Structure formats: structure tokens, C-alpha cells
Structure 1
Amino acid sequence: MEADDGGDGHRGGAVGDGPTRADRARRVAHVLRGQVVRGAFPGGVLPDERALVAEFGTSRNAVREALGLLRDEGLVERRRGVGTVVVGRTYEHPLGELSGLAEVLQRHGTVVNEVRAARIVRAPGAVARRLELPEGSRAVYLERLRRVDGMPLSLDCTYLIPEVGEPLLALGPERLENRDVFELIERAAGRPLGSAEVAVRAVVADPATCAVLGMTAGGAVLAVDRLTRLADGRPADLEFIHLRGDRLTLRARLDRVREG
């Protein structure tokens, strides 16, 4: 008979009828997923089922279901004679600093940007307003597929004000493939950056985005909307970024603000 404490070690004072096996599996998967993302398992091998049962105080069936959830996500796989091993590498991007994704990911592997579009366009009305450009103004549009060690990780669609974007276009495709936009803005355009406003949503990717990112249909992505400003406060760069939700973790340290 399975334990019904949900892996938290408490039986008394419970509300309701107690967690189901699916609930217990989900809770175990939450903890294991976090460990996989942080690289907590030496050699990439998870503890065996018996050790996990003891650690979480739950049943073997719940542990097996939890491991099945991680397998379905592409994070682990079962290998005969070895056990459950980590196969889906994830990357972290800190939210507490203004840095380009490539700047961060270069710490983890070889970053290549496939330039899918680089041209001057008429800025859509909503884009012009956010970039504080007159209606009907031109903007530079960049679309790049970012790969880390050959694996597609993000699709970046960027609008830049002309004085910032046109010097980048003049550099040619090779520089756009091998440098982060933030670095190019500051070095090639000579415009120091100051701050950014970021919003992140989890969405189901459309079929075209799934195809570009090498994901199965209906996969989840982190949709990032980022407006970056120059040091003088003017908007310079509006990005719509789709990140593979199964391969990237956004991380930040947040301090409690206390009054008085």
C-alpha cells in the first residue's frame, strides 16, 4: 500500500483526502527538475529509485511517474546498466543584469546567430510608438535564430531606431552572426545602453515557431518582450524573443523591500 503523506513527512492535520499518486509524482518531479536545471547530479546520473523513495518518503510508483514526467520533457532518459541520466541540457539567464542572451550563453558553449532577416522596414504603428518614433518612420529589423552548440534555443525579432540600427546593418551578416546586438549597439553604433523593461509570458508556440526552434508541435516557449533604452533614456531596441521553455531558465535574486 502506498504512503499518503505526499512526500512531506506529515500525516496529521491534513485537509481533504490527501494527495493522489499523481500529486505525489508531480511534487517529486518539481524538486528533481530544479536539481537537473542546476546541474546538481555529479556525472549527470540521478540517484536510483530506492534512494529517491527514501529521500521523498513516497512510493516507488510515484517516483517512477515523476521520472516519466521528466522523460516526457526530454530532460532525462533511462539507460540500461546506468540508470536515469540527464540528457536535456538547460541554460540560465540572469534577470538582474542588462545583458544580451549571447553574452550569457557564451559561458556555456558556442553561440551562433543565424541571420534570417536584416533590413530597413516601415515600423508598425505599435512598434513606432514604443520606440517613440513618428508614425510611418523607418526602423531596422533583425531576425536571428540563436543556437548553442548547434541546438536552436531562441528566435529573436528586433526593431531598432535608425541611428542605432543602420550602423549595425553596415557591418554585414558576418558580424551580426557572431556578436550580440547589445555589444554591437555600444561598440559599432557608439551608443551606451542604460536600462530595459522586460515582460515574460509562457505561451504555446505557433507551428512556424516550433519548426524554426526544432520543437514538437504545441511546445511551450517563454515569450520575452524587452524594450531597451540608451543611457540618455531614449528607446533604442524593441525585441520580441521566443525562448525554448524546455532549455532555458530565467533566474534572479530578489530582495525584500522593508519600509521604515
Structure 2
Amino acid sequence: MRSFRSILWQRIAARAGPLRVDALAVHRHLPEITTLGTHRHRFWQALLYLSGRGIQEIGTAGHAVGTGSLVFLPPGHGHAFRRTGPQPALCLVIEFTDPKLARRDPVVRRLTALELGEVRRSLARIARIGDADDPPALLARAGLALTLLESLFRATGWFPSSPGSPVSTLPPPLRRLLESPESDRLDLTDLARRIGQHAETLSRTLRRTTGLTLGQWRNRYRLQRAQTALREKWTIGEAAAAAGFDDQNYFARWFRAQTGVTASVWRRRDPSR
């Protein structure tokens, strides 16, 4: 019995040295299916939960997963899933092989809102290419799939940060501070003092690694937190709170300024749902 519906499915067949990406898909679990029994694959599988929540079982261990949870499963590892939330899970699946990764253990971690936003943008670009099989489309899909998998590798720490990446190149102490709840109450000088830098040095670091000012970075991060909440069917007020806004009316004006539409309209039009 089929346990999911494929929203996006692409046969990729892209290579980068010994690594080969065979397929990329976005699956939504069927509403009546609450448990996927233990199964194994002969290839590596990267799973990224775009929405929903549950328990990802790997061998005898159970891991709570939800929006933004990333799971890397080596070949031959038995795994299962049990839904714990009301909504069926929506999951990105990338199938690949790489002999150099054969001895690695399974990985489970949660992406930041920025990392998850980058993934969603890549998926939207792949979806826009569609099923065209002409050489430019095939090359574009292959390139996007390899770039997407690379970003997931970097999120696990398997690859070093790459220059220019707005998500991965922030120094860890700064990244943790910027993504903490208290960050919204700190200005550039306060943030710099917390990590032992001068404000001018911190400003240059932000611009060099993200291409953004502190205000621009915060707007981008807040927007992605709000959009994640809206995808999870939270109310507008809950999305405002998730993005760090106490005033829902101010949030409504801010969201429209960022996206050009209201939060309700954005949720209806969201291409990744």
C-alpha cells in the first residue's frame, strides 16, 4: 500500500566525483497513514521534514522530528516513522551514493530558519524547471540538486563552510547569538560586546559573510520564521509572535512590506506547500 503522494519527483543522474545523485522528490504522507514500518535502502538517503512532526526511528533509537529536521541515512540502516502531529508530514527526499561516505553513521539535526529558507528557494527553482528533458533543463536540475545536497552536507558539518554562503559562514558564536530570542533586543554595539568585538568589526563581518546589514539580516531571519509558522497553519498572531513581534497590526504591515502581499495571501500562494 502506498504511504505517500509525490508532489515533486525528479530523476537526476548527476555526478560530482564519486558522488552520484539519483533522485530528488518531495513526498506528502497520506492522511490515513500514521506509521511507516521499518525499511532499508541500498543507497544513501537525505530526508528533510518541511512540515509535520513525528518520531524518526533509526535502528533502536527514536528521534523527535519536525519542520526543519534533517536526517541522513546510510545504506542498509533500518528506519521507520511514526506521526505524532495532526498534519501528514511533507518531506524532501534525496537519494544518492558515495563510496567515501560508506562508514559514516546516521545523522539527525535541525536546520536553522535561514538554512531551511535556502532549501525552500532551491526547491521552488527546481519545481519551476518542471519535467522538461532538453539539455539546458537537465543541466539546471542536476546543478541545483548537487548544490542542494551540498548545503545539507554543510549543515551536518561534514563539509567546511564555503566563502560567501549567507548561512554557513557566520562565526558560530555570532550565529548562535543572532538566532537566540534575546537577539531582537540587542543593537549592533550590544551584539559586538557579547562576542568580544568592536561594532565596526562586527558590521564588516556581517557584510562580508552574508552581504547584509544587521537590520537586513534580522528582517530576512524574522520573515523566514514567520513563513515557517504560516506553513504549519499557525494563526497570524502566532506567526507574528514566532517572528518576534508583539503587535500583530505592526507585523501585518511589516510582512506586506517584505513580501508585497498580506500573510493570509502569502500562505494561500506558497508554492512549497
Question: Do the structures match in fold with TM over 0.5?
Answer: no
Which structure has the highest helix share of the two? Answer: 2
- Say which structure is richer in strand: 1
Bigger radius of gyration among the two = 1
TM-score bracket relative to the smaller structure: under 0.3
Q: TM-score, normalised by structure 1?
A: 0.24
Normalising by structure 2, report the TM-score. Answer: 0.23
